Amino acid sequence: MFIGIPGELEAALIDLSLPPWKLNGPFLATPTIKEFRAGLTAAPRFEETAATLRGALTGEGGGYAVLRLGGLAKALGSNEGRFLRLVTGFAAEVAVPFSPFPQWPLWKDIGVKVDKDPGKSSGIGYNAFHMDLVNASLPPDYTTLLCVRPDPLGGGPSILSDAHAAVARLSEDSRALLAETAYRYGAFFDLYGVGEEYTPFPVLDGTAPEREFVRFTAKMLKRSQLDPKHAAAARELAEELVRGQVSFMLQPGDYLIVDQRRFLHGREALQGGQETVPVDDRRLLLQLFLRASASAGPAA
């Protein structure tokens, strides 16, 4: 699931300057996608690398990938325009990039705030298994994270777990409870491209067992009021997700792409002592969402 960049491709991309992107509503505009693809496909071994990336995400046993772009990040600057346009071009080979948050740019910063709820994405504690925008009727098909800086103190490895494999290990009674419209989590307002608010919702909707969203966040066990039997089923699923998890530390320039219909994600706690690290030196990720093109809507 870790995909390196061939040397000749990396060298060509360092010299490639893609144009600034344009959006159509929340989505990357079709002319921008075409311009990016035209520039990238002229680079040696780009199409081969893009095909490997798509295969890692969609092939049997797949569902996530880490594109290792550290050399490009070092050469171009991991938070600079040229590099972000290249990464956006790779993302557009998978699905249509978009931002559901009108108050944020296409790429959203996820920094570290020591005074925030520790369990949140920008907190310093354990970020339990979840899917992003769990309470939207049309969640992003992919969630992606670009590592600008890892935790300089050495904490915060990413964690991933195969949601459908975890569900398959549950008892029939628990699966039946998870299929009931009895779960809720979070607020919903001022969002684009993700449908309507969906609450309460079932964790399992039963429409396509191998490709459905496992609409789950372990955070609802502490932050939502669930009746005891539904909470117990959700807790059993949370335990199975932990049981099947993989973990790894993202390095500068690593680009993690997760198929939300197959895997749930989270993060181990950051190392203690974050308050001693200057804000500009703390862990920093950039987040981008992707929509499968069939459901992306207009992107002119």
pLDDT tens-place string over residues 244-263: 999 999 999 999 999 999 99
**What are residue 201's DSSP bridge partners?**
183
Mean pLDDT of the region 181-208: 92
- Return d(Cα 164, Cα 279) in angstroms, integer: 38
pLDDT band at residue 61, thresholds of 50, 70 and 90? Answer: confident
Q: What is the pLDDT of residue 130?
A: 98
Average pLDDT, the chain: 94
Measured CA distances, 181 to 177, 256, 263 (Å): 9, 31, 21
Mean pLDDT of the region 271-283: 96
Q: What is the pLDDT of residue 297?
A: 42
In terms of pLDDT, which residue wins out, 211 or 97? 97
Give, for 260, the enclosing helix (H) or strand (E).
none
Mean pLDDT of the region 128-157: 97
SS3 201: strand
- Return d(Cα 245, Cα 224) in angstroms, integer: 24
Per-residue pLDDT of 210-255, as tens digits, reads 679 999 999 999 988 999 999 999 999 999 999 999 999 999 999 9
Pick from 148, 150, 151, 125: nearest CA to 268: 125
Q: What domains sit in the chain, N to C, each tagged with a CATH number?
A: 2-292 (3.60.130.10)
pLDDT of 294 strictly over 80:
no
pLDDT band at residue 45, thresholds of 50, 70 and 90? Answer: very high
- Return d(Cα 76, Cα 255) in angstroms, integer: 15
- Return d(Cα 166, Cα 241) in angstroms, integer: 6
Nearest 10 degrees: Cα torsion 163, 164, 166, 170: 130
Q: In sequence order, which residues have a C-beta less than 8 Å from that of residue 159 and are 6 or more positions away? A: 129, 245, 246, 247, 265, 266, 267, 268
The mean-pLDDT minimum among 72-86, 144-158, 225-239 falls in 72-86
Mean pLDDT of the region 98-103: 93
Q: In sequence order, which residues have a C-beta less than 8 Å from that of residue 208 and are 6 or more positions away? A: none
Mean pLDDT of the region 140-146: 98
pLDDT band at residue 300, thresholds of 50, 70 and 90? Answer: very low
Q: What is the pLDDT of residue 209?
A: 66
- Return d(Cα 133, Cα 299) in angstroms, integer: 21
- Return d(Cα 37, Cα 21) in angstroms, integer: 12
Mean pLDDT of the region 89-94: 98
In terms of pLDDT, which residue wins out, 297 or 200? 200
In terms of pLDDT, which residue wins out, 129 or 60? 129
pLDDT of 124 strictly over 90:
yes
Using the 8-state DSSP alphabet, how is residue 190 labeled? S
Mean pLDDT of the region 132-147: 97
Q: What is the pLDDT of residue 37?
A: 98
**What are residue 118's DSSP bridge partners?**
none
pLDDT band at residue 35, thresholds of 50, 70 and 90? Answer: very high
Per-residue pLDDT of 153-192, as tens digits, reads 999 999 999 999 999 999 999 999 999 999 999 889 889 9
- Return d(Cα 10, Cα 71) in angstroms, integer: 7
